[in-house]
Amino acid sequence: MALLETAVTGDVEKLVAENSPIAIGVPGGKDSQAAAIATFKYLNTVGHTGPRILIHADLGSVEWDDSLRICEELAHHLECDLVVVRRNAGGLMERWESRWLSSQTRYQTLSTVTLVPCWSTPAMRFCTSELKTHIIMAGLKRRFRGQKILNVIGVRREESAARARMSIADPDAGRQVWTWRPIIELTSVGVFALIDDAGLALHPAYRVHGMSRVSCRYCIMSNMADLTAASAVPESHALYRRMVQLEIESGFAFQGSRWLGDVAPHLLTPEMRAAHAAAKEKAARRVLIEKRVTKPMLYVKGWPLRMLTDDEASILAGVRRKLLFDVTHSAVDHRIHSVAELLGYRVSTVQRD
């Protein structure tokens, strides 16, 4: 019988009974703390004797300074190992920066039709898939080679409509790793109660800094109140300026239409404030310029799927010329010729508007 705060399925019960390895993902927030506490209570009750570890995916400079400490204290409390994994090519900030470099290269080599934003988004959360899920899964499969594994995450239905539809547990394609959500039915009140009852401290970001959620210091999912609260903490200032610098260089706002540089402009130098204002103006011009590109002309897998018409080729070449000259200040003539030639359009008729 599962404890009140622990949701299980038949597959989970079977794997636990077989003493399969249990790995609990702990970024440092309250839900992962509660998931670890509830899972250990359940495992102790049913007599599980297999390996148990906490696993933390280190995202680098975007993480709160206290996150790793909170995970270490949790591991000490539960008397288990804490395994730290990280992306070899750097943390999330480095991923955002390299993505912008890649976006420029892809645009210049005609691999994309429009410029691609550098930031992850709610619809494209490579920050989670690449730097957490993939890294953790690869680490678990190496550590417990050939074994069936229960990978515990602190997801709760109360958090969002998407999470409300999630199952208690489901396997990966190879049925080697089952992702288990043991506190999926728990409320936030229950989460805080579990942590307090265990005598553990919450991450300071909650009760000291006033954050409603703890992940990255500046998260793509953060509301304005959390972005403002994070900016009030001195440890966040260097990261804030680095992220705003990427907004300046790329011309893309951190959260779609919300610019991080507008959250705490007093933390920026006068030169950065001026450059940020210029970047926002360029971004507005880019949006207007790219509106000329129609949906049938946009990039899809296998692009181009057909030869564009002369009018479409003229539009696309004109858009690229304006963007490369106005937005990136690059030398553009050879690139205009390249796109025209690729699309089968006579270079002499490319409009230089």
Q: What is the DSSP string of 43-63?
A: HHHHT--S-EEEEEEE-GGGB
Distances in Å between the Cα of 257 and the Cα atoms of 145, 158, 253 are: 45, 27, 6
Final residue before a domain boundary, out of 152, 179, 207: 207
- For residue 151, give the 3-state DSSP assignment: strand
Sign of CA dihedral 199, 202, 204, 206: negative
Are residues 37 and 118 part of one domain? Answer: yes
Tell me, what CATH number does 63's domain have? Answer: 3.40.50.620
Are residues 239 and 169 part of one domain? Answer: no
CA-based nearest residue to 249, from 146, 117, 123: 117
Cα 260 from Cα 226, distance rounded (Å)? 12
Are residues 146 and 236 part of one domain? Answer: no
For 166, list phi and psi in degrees, rounded to 5: -75, 155
Residue for token pair 């670890």: 36
- E strand or H helix that includes residue 169: strand 169-171
Query: Quick one: pLDDT at residue 340?
Result: 41
The answer to whether 22 and 178 have CB atoms below 8 angstroms apart is: no
Residue by residue, pLDDT tens for the chain (353 residues) are: 345 569 999 999 999 999 999 999 999 999 999 999 999 999 999 999 999 999 999 999 999 999 999 999 999 999 999 999 999 999 999 999 999 999 989 888 888 888 899 999 998 999 999 999 999 999 999 999 999 999 999 999 998 898 999 999 999 999 999 999 999 999 999 999 999 999 999 999 999 999 999 989 999 999 999 999 999 999 999 999 999 999 999 999 999 999 999 999 999 999 999 999 999 999 999 999 999 998 888 888 887 788 888 888 889 888 888 887 765 554 334 444 444 444 433 333 333 33
The answer to whether 68 and 254 have CB atoms below 8 angstroms apart is: no
Range of the domain at 58: 10-207
Query: Quick one: pLDDT at residue 322?
Result: 83
Are residues 51 and 145 part of one domain? Answer: yes
Does the residue 219 lie in any domain? no
Are residues 233 and 171 part of one domain? Answer: no
State pTM to two decimals: 0.87
Final residue before a domain boundary, out of 147, 176, 207: 207
* Angle between helix 237-250 and helix 92-108 axes, rounded to 10 deg: 10
The answer to whether 137 and 173 have CB atoms below 8 angstroms apart is: no
Does the residue 188 lie in any domain? yes
Q: Structurally, how many domains does the chain consist of? A: 3
Are residues 239 and 151 part of one domain? Answer: no
Are residues 28 and 126 part of one domain? Answer: yes
Are residues 344 and 203 part of one domain? Answer: no
Query: Quick one: pLDDT at residue 308?
Result: 85
